[in-house]
Amino acid sequence: MSIVAYLSLPLVGALIGYLTNHIAIRMLFRPLRPWHLAGRRLPLTPGVIPAARHRLAANIGKMVGEHLLTPQDIRRALGQDDFQHNLRLLIQTQTEAIMQTPFGPVESLVPAAFRSYFRVGVKVVRWRFLKQLHQHLQSPEFAATLTAVSEEHFNEVMQRRLDQVLPEEQRQELVNAVSEQLHQAMAAPAFQQGVADYLNRQFVQLLADGRSLAELLPAPLLNALLERLEQQAPRLLEHLAELLARPEAQEKVATGLGEALHQFSRSLGPMGAVLGNLITPETVAGKIRSWLGRKGENAGHWLLDEEARRQLAAAMRREAEKFCHRPLGELLADIPPAQLDQARRELAQALGRLLARPETATLLNGVLHEALNAHRELPLASLLQNFWGEDAAERGQRFGQQELLRLLRSRRTKRMLDRLLIDLTETRLLAQPLGRPADLLPREIKTGINDYLQEQINLLLEREVPQLIDALNIREIVTRKVDRLDLLQLEGLLLSIMQDQFKYINFFGALIGFLIGLFNLLILTVF
């Protein structure tokens, strides 16, 4: 046999193997539709895949839904670094875009169709807030809380020294302000008229009560005045001695004593008339004038005697005490009412002019400044006790708590809170543009927002995406999609995936045919 004969069997076997595999692969897809002969469908028509496309689609859907896209795979994919990095970049991009956006008022962020509801909602919330606030202000719990807080703060303030609460500069400013206000008030005509009315009322009341000067003046002041009067006795005696040495004074003394003696003799009746005829005022005045001319210097020495001074001082004190203990009504009984009214008016006017003088304001300024400086190292509690008694701090605390609670619960405060909340919500908070959030938030806050969003998105994806995939029924979706594919598209899809494998199958068929040909050639040669 020639070499061609030897090679023909293996080559023909290889060709047969190649062609049979190629035809078999083609019969997977072709024909696309069944062929009929004499009314009967020919076997192997349509091809394997067109005939089993529905089962193929179901199997692909099952494979994808149950093995290729599972909740566990999704969770692992969500936790990968690449996905988290991309998610972080997406969040930062979106949040930065929002942060750089200038926002208008809050109402502008609400869709136009819902803005009327937004306004109504704001009013309802504001009304409910005010209602709860006013109810809380009227509650015993608020009163107890306010009392506890104010008491703690009050006790803390009372332990501070005056110079801690009011430094030197502030004390001087306070003194100047108080003095200025007092001066303006005292210089006002209304104040002076009030002083006059007050003096008139007090004067009438004093006369009606029958009180004396001793009852009106404090005992220390009265004793000081009487002692001062006793101290002035030597000076009075010195002035009296000087007067008695003067001729004009001697003339007045002689004439006065003569007239006094004449009046006394007239009060004695008939006997006084006889005495008056015998001793005339001119005679008495002449005798006294003559005596003073001779003995005036001796009388002056007698008045300057220590015993005379002591007796005069004692007499002056006794008379002054009697005078001070007499009711004012008796002291002023001989004075006509018109003169008393005139005296009261003049006293009120003089007092008003005194109070209105700048020197009075200066005096008040000095007194207040000295008083504050004298007590600057004392705690405020001690100052209150010194001026208003031992329980002054407690009374002041109770008064302040009651007044503060009454103020907070008053209608005026309620109206003020209503107006304040309306102004804050409608003209300040809601009407003002919000601006760019980036200008309002620091970098740490923005980073925290990004971290929180990323954390929440991861939790949401991890919790909801598997359930969402189950709800979407990926298996059914893939099955429908594959089942609806055109057969040519399905063929092209499979061939694009398995074309190289099909080529190797063809070659493998040729190899098998070649080997079978060699085997046949070997059998023929041997046998």
DSSP labels, 289-330 = HHHHHHHHHHHHHHHTSHHHHHHHHHHHHHHHHHHHHSBHHH
Tokens of 334: 């001989």
Q: Is residue 193 part of a domain?
A: yes
> 327 - beta bridge partners?
212
Q: Is residue 313 part of a domain?
A: yes
Q: Is residue 321 part of a domain?
A: yes
> 252 or 437: whose pLDDT is higher?
437
Close Cβ partners of 148 (under 8 Å, ≥ 6 residues apart): none
Question: How many C-beta atoms surround the C-beta of residue 438 within 10 A?
Answer: 16
Instruction: Pick the range with the lowest mean pLDDT from 294-303, 324-333, 453-462.
Output: 294-303
Read off the pLDDT of each residue in 345-351 and give the average, rounded to a whole number.
78
Res 273 pLDDT > 70 = no
Angle formed at CA 186 by CA 181 and CA 189, multiple of 5 degrees: 120
Distances (CA, A) of 228 to 310, 326, 331, 487: 14, 20, 22, 138
Read off the pLDDT of each residue in 102-116 and give the average, rounded to a whole number.
85
Res 148 pLDDT > 80 = yes
Give pLDDT, residue 90: 92
Res 199 pLDDT > 70 = yes
Read off the pLDDT of each residue in 511-522 and give the average, rounded to a whole number.
82
Counting Cα atoms < 13 Å in the Cβ hemisphere of 225 gives 13
Give pLDDT, residue 139: 92
> 420 or 506: whose pLDDT is higher?
420
Give the closest residue to 328 by CA, choosing from 218, 205, 219, 223: 205
Q: Is residue 475 part of a domain?
A: no
> 472 or 157: whose pLDDT is higher?
157
Instruction: Pick the range with the lowest mean pLDDT from 224-238, 284-298, 437-451, 478-492.
Output: 284-298
Q: How confident is the model at residue 51 (pLDDT cuts 50, 70, 90)?
A: confident
Res 86 pLDDT > 60 = yes
Q: How confident is the model at residue 233 (pLDDT cuts 50, 70, 90)?
A: low
Q: Where are the strands (E) in 21-90, listed by range?
A: 36-37, 40-41
Res 285 pLDDT > 70 = no
Give pLDDT, residue 41: 76
Task: Please give the mean pLDDT across all residues of the chain.
Answer: 76
Close Cβ partners of 171 (under 8 Å, ≥ 6 residues apart): 162, 163, 369, 372, 373, 376
Instruction: Pick the range with the lowest mean pLDDT from 228-237, 244-253, 310-319.
Output: 244-253
Give pLDDT, residue 278: 47
Q: Is residue 297 part of a domain?
A: yes
Question: How many C-beta atoms surround the C-beta of residue 478 within 10 A?
Answer: 20
DSSP-based three-state secondary structure for 36: strand
237 with 309: CB under 8 angstroms? yes
H, E, C per residue of 57-75: HHHHHHHHHHHHCCHHHHH
Q: Is residue 138 part of a domain?
A: no
Read off the pLDDT of each residue in 369-396 and give the average, rounded to a whole number.
76
Q: Is residue 171 part of a domain?
A: no
373 with 127: CB under 8 angstroms? no
Res 512 pLDDT > 80 = yes
CA distance 198 to 352: 12
Read off the pLDDT of each residue in 256-279 and give the average, rounded to a whole number.
53
CA distance 384 to 391: 9
Kindly report whether the peptide bond that precedes residue 34 is cis, defined as omega within 30 degrees of 0.
no
Total domains, the chain? 1
Tokens of 431: 């009407």
DSSP-based three-state secondary structure for 523: helix
Using one digit for the tens of pLDDT, what is the confidence trace for 125-145? 888 998 998 899 899 999 999
The structure's pTM equals: 0.42
Res 250 pLDDT > 60 = no
Q: Is residue 346 part of a domain?
A: yes
Cα-to-chain-centroid distance, residue 63: 67
Res 122 pLDDT > 80 = yes
Give the closest residue to 341 by CA, choosing from 199, 217, 227, 524: 199
- Its domain, for residue 354, covers 186-358
Q: How confident is the model at residue 274 (pLDDT cuts 50, 70, 90)?
A: very low
Distances (CA, A) of 236 to 233, 295, 465, 510: 5, 20, 118, 164
Give pLDDT, residue 211: 75
Read off the pLDDT of each residue in 65-69 and give the average, rounded to a whole number.
68
Close Cβ partners of 272 (under 8 Å, ≥ 6 residues apart): 264, 265, 266
Using one digit for the tens of pLDDT, what is the confidence trace for 73-85? 777 777 888 888 8
Using one digit for the tens of pLDDT, what is the confidence trace for 351-375? 777 777 777 778 777 877 777 777 7
Close Cβ partners of 474 (under 8 Å, ≥ 6 residues apart): 61, 64, 65, 69
